[in-house]
Each structure stands twice: as C-alpha cells, then as structure tokens.
Amino acid sequence: NIKNGLNFAQFLEAILRIIDSKAKSSDQPDNEENYRDLLQQTFQDATMSIKRKSVEDKLIVKLYTEESQMCFYDKFGLLGAIFQNRSLTNNSIHLGLPFDEFALIMSQAGIAQNDEVKEEVKEGQIKKILKSEVMQILQQIDVFDGDSEDDNDPKLLTYIDFLEGIVRVAALYPFGDREEYSSLEDKLNYVVTKLEAKFGNLVDDFEKSLSAKDEEMKFACKMVINERDDGEGESGEEGEDYG
C-alpha cells in the first residue's frame, strides 16, 4: 500500500491477528468460544471508541481537534524526525519511544526539569513542568505494549502515542494565568516551538530519508493524466505521449 498504510480489509486482519495472539497466550488456547469472547470484549471495550473513552478522559478529545491536527500536519517533519531519531526498534519491525526517553526529550528542549532542581522563575518567564509529572502524564496513554508481564520490557509509545503525549503535556503545562496561552492551540505551539529550537537540525536528514524510502519502494504513481483541450483526460503509463 502507498506509504505503508492499511486498507479496511488489512485493518480487520490486524485486529483478528491481535485477538488470535491473545487467545493463544490464554489458558484456553484451543477453545473457540474463548476466541469469540475475546473478540466481543475487544469491540465492547470503551477505549475502542474515542467518544466513549472521552467520557472518562477529556484530554483524549484534544488530540483530534482541528488545531492539534493542523499543528501535527505542519510540523510533521520536525515531530517525525524526533520520533525516528530517539525511538527503539520494537520486534525488529516497529519504532517505539520509551517513556523515559520522551521525558528526556522534554527536558532537553527546556520544557521539563528534574524534580531535584529548584529553578527560580524570573519575571516574565514560564515555569517548567517536572519530569515526574511528565511520566505521570504518560501513564494515562494506552500503549499497545502495556500488557507485557516482563518488567524489563519498557513501555513504548507509537508515533500517535508520542503526539498524544505532546498534547497532554501542553494541556497540563503550568502557564498560570498567562492570557497568551489560554487556548490549546497556543499551548501546543509553545511546546512545539521549544522542540523545534532544540531538534530542528534533525529535519533535513529525516526528510531525505523519506525521499529515499519513496524511491526505494517506488511510491510515486506510474499513471499520468494528460489534459486535452476538450477538458477530458487520458491515462496511461508514465512516459507515453498522448499528444
């Protein structure tokens, strides 16, 4: 698929594979009813629906606001670069960002500070959030690897989890009564601007890696449309001349 996306059938297949994995790791791996029950539980789970989940977690809605989505779209080069640069490879396939690495990123960007450090806030400055508070914020994110029983297996944030973490940090940031940061958009822009100041140098290499991947996977469409004078179009293999 283009850009390694999933069509609807593959999306359903992914869900079934997850259920199959859970069923095989249960105490009744050969019980077909267990498989059916797990499937029903999955779709009845409130966290499967953003609307249901938002009843208990108001902040999750902020991840999908137009303001948040536009910010993530405009700054994909930056945010994607940070995520790729600091993530671990999970199961040799997927990238995942450890919780403590996320907190470190916030610290390096001047957004968070160590709990032991008592920084004085001068007039006009904005107080930083504590790294321990960042870690508490991350605990509210439903990560896919969170069910692991291995204490040595770190919880990893997917890219969407990474964005959710940024939204949660921005929403809970200690801006006080600063009117210029009264909206989520303003708060989010503040956090992203701090990230850009620290990690903006990663963007060029990240965008080059995307272009190289496009070339390798031949994502570019091989069909071309030639407009005719009558407004109709013709399609054909790239390189063919329709005059």
> Phi and psi for 28 in degrees, rounded to 5?
-135, 65
**60 CB burial (10 A radius; 0-12, 13-18, 19+):** buried
Q: Which residues contact 161 (CB under 8 A, 6 or more apart)?
A: 97, 141, 143
CB count within 10 Å of CB 145 equals 17
User: Does the residue 226 lie in any domain?
Assistant: no
163 part of a folded domain? yes
One domain, residues 21 and 1 = yes
Q: How far is CA 50 from CA 53, 59, 193, 226, in A?
A: 5, 11, 28, 43
Residue with tokens 């959030």: 129
Task: Give the pLDDT confidence score for residue 191 in this predicted structure.
Answer: 95
pTM for the whole structure: 0.68
What is residue 43's predicted lDDT score, i.e. its pLDDT?
Answer: 72
Identify the DSSP state of 220.
Answer: S
pLDDT of residue 15: 80
Alpha carbon distances (Å) from 178 to 13, 109, 186: 48, 21, 11
- Same structural domain, 91 and 191: yes
Q: Does residue 103 sit within a domain?
A: yes
Range of the domain at 31: 1-44
The verdict on 1 and 115 lying in the same domain is no
Please indicate, yes or no, whether residues 84 and 170 belong to a single structural domain of this protein.
Answer: yes
pLDDT at position 190 is: 94
Please, what is the end-to-end C-alpha distance for the chain in angstroms?
31
- Within this chain, do residues 24 and 111 fall inside the same structural domain, yes or no? no
| Of 200, 219, 223, nearest in space to 211 by CA | 219
What was the pLDDT predicted at 91?
56
Which pLDDT value is given to residue 235? Answer: 46
Whether 2 is covered by a domain: the verdict is: yes
pLDDT at 28: 77
Residue 66 and residue 10 share a domain: no
Considering the domain architecture, whether residues 19 and 106 belong to the same structural domain is answered as no
Q: Are residues 95 and 133 part of one domain?
A: yes
Nearest-Å Rg of the Cα atoms of the chain is 23
Whether residue 37 lies inside any domain: the answer is yes
pLDDT reported for residue 240: 45
Claim to verify: residue 8 and residue 128 sit in the same structural domain: no
Shared domain check, 174 and 71: yes
Q: Is residue 60 part of a domain?
A: yes
Q: Helix, strand or coil for residue 132?
A: helix
For residues 81 and 38, membership in a common domain is answered with no
Q: How many domains does the chain have?
A: 2
Burial bucket for residue 156 (CB in 10 Å: 0-12, 13-18, 19+): buried
**Residue 229: what pLDDT?**
55
Identify the pLDDT of residue 90: 61
pLDDT of residue 106: 95
Q: Which residues of the chain fall short of a pLDDT of 50? A: 1-3, 145-150, 222-225, 233-243
Sequence-distant (≥ 6) Cβ neighbours of residue 31 within 8 angstroms:
23
3-state secondary structure at position 59 = helix
Identify the pLDDT of residue 188.
93
Same structural domain for residues 19 and 101?
no
**pLDDT score at 82:** 96
